[in-house]
Amino acid sequence: MMSDEDYVFDEESGDWVPASQLRTTDAGADVEVRDAVGNLLSDGDQVTLLKDLTVKGAGQTLKRGTLIRSIRLTGDPQEIDCRYEGIKDLVLRAEFVKKRN
């Protein structure tokens, strides 16, 4: 007999697993997010941009060297969430930033 539970494809294992099982494994996983030079990033860090980035939907370009304060990790090893003047809900790729010491 089949259950009514949803199944999702787990890219790590290559199998279809129940959605409830995938949620429990994701909740316990600590994702390491590293910047362009390999520094480990964490919530609240400050980063600087390594290249000019055009922000889609905002009609604005963030210049190289721009300081972004208080980043938040998203659970994706390639993305960080942050805010900048006039732009809320900004998501940056970790490959374009460097941690500020």
Q: What is the mean pLDDT of residues 15-34?
A: 69
Q: What does the pLDDT look like over 57-66, one tens digit per residue?
A: 888 899 999 9
DSSP codes joined into one string, 35-65: -TTSPEE-TT--EEESS-EEETTTTEEEPTT
Asked if pLDDT for residue 1 goes beyond 50, the answer is: no
The reported pTM is 0.67
Mention the CATH class of domain 32-99.
mainly beta
Per-residue pLDDT band for 4 (boundaries 50, 70, 90) equals: low
Q: What is the mean pLDDT of residues 9-31?
A: 68
pLDDT at residue 22 in the model: 61
The full set of domain ranges for the chain reads 1-30, 32-99
